[in-house]
Amino acid sequence: MSNDREAMSIARLKELVRERSKRAELPLAERRKVMDGNAEMFPVPAGVTVTPADLDGLKAEWARPRETDGATVLYFHGGGYVLGSPVSHRHLTSRLALAARANVLSVDYRLAPEHAFPAAVDDGLKAYRWLLGEGHAPEAIALAGDSAGGGLAMATLLAAKRDGLPMPMAAALLSPWTDLTCDTGTYASCADADPMITQAGIKELAAMYLAGADPRQPLASPNHGDLAGLPPLLIQVGSDEVLLDDARDLDARARAAGVAADLEIWDGMIHVWQAFYQMLPEGERAIERIGGWLAKQHTAAGHTRSGLAKV
């Protein structure tokens, strides 16, 4: 990708992403280095301070805006469970911190194949428990994530529910990968439109992460789980990505379970287009939408808590 910060069309971005996607042929260690190179390509926006964090041995980093409304966003990066880090997604988490007026805690969860399923889920749950243990009220915590990180946010919610932990106020999911069977209809119908993900490629990532585990286990594929009792969900997905059905199915299953779900299908957008906000106007608008939605959920949760306290 170029360092040009000029606004561009989604068509031009698709061309650049197709070219960059050829790096999938590189060795895994090299691909991880390339992805972390996002930190040099996409600078942290002004007004945000980034600092490391230690969650009882689990690495993470804070993105703190100058002004906050007191909320915390627990963020899980994407990368197919084998790539990515808080470094690679720093520009995105920092921009989200500004939009939501919240401190964002980005987790460096363990990656496959060195650490197969359910290691990432264990780390997600550990991070949520850490926040609770540090005195963060659940009604002031939101979970968020992109791609595999969106799936991990959902899996963390299911694990927290299993363990009887209080639910956070909400979860925002960016192009979430929530069905590791990788066998929905949009893998075919969106194959030509999606410049980033192929069915064969994502199945390879799923196999590395699952290491023989059943892909229909809810903590691997939340679309196959019981979603009752989860907090409100915002799901953003592009119309041109093969994971479109993952988002549609998640929305339908959440609604059927009585969960408040808000599905946004952005016309012509690709997988995690929000990460390209510094060059793609739709990315900027999507992040602002997420920030506004999270702020609204925080306000509503605060009012609910105040009302309950008066009863």
Joined tokens for residue 113 = 């194949």
Q: Which residues have C-beta within 8 Å of that of residue 195, sequence separation ≥ 6?
A: 14, 15, 17, 18, 21, 270
91 is catalytic: no
94 is catalytic: no
Q: Are strands 102-107 and 233-238 parallel, antiparallel or unpaired?
A: unpaired
- Write out the DSSP string of 47-94: TEEEEEEEETTEEEEEEEESS--SEEEEEE--STTTS--TTTTHHHHH
Q: Which of 193, 200, 297 is closest to 237 using CA atoms?
A: 193
DSSP 3-state of 108: coil
Q: Which of 35, 42, 62 is closest to 50 using CA atoms?
A: 62
**Triad 278, 98, 69: Cα angle to 5°:** 165
Q: Are strands 170-174 and 233-238 parallel, antiparallel or unpaired?
A: parallel
- Name the active-site residue from 147, 175, 221, 282: 147
65 neighbors 46 (Cβ within 8 angstroms): no
- Name the active-site residue from 85, 271, 282, 298: 271
147 is catalytic: yes
d(CA 159, CA 42): 33
- Name the active-site residue from 136, 241, 282, 298: 241
Burial (0-12, 13-18, 19+ Cβ within 10 Å), 167: middle
117 neighbors 218 (Cβ within 8 angstroms): no
Residues recognised as catalytic: 147, 241, 271
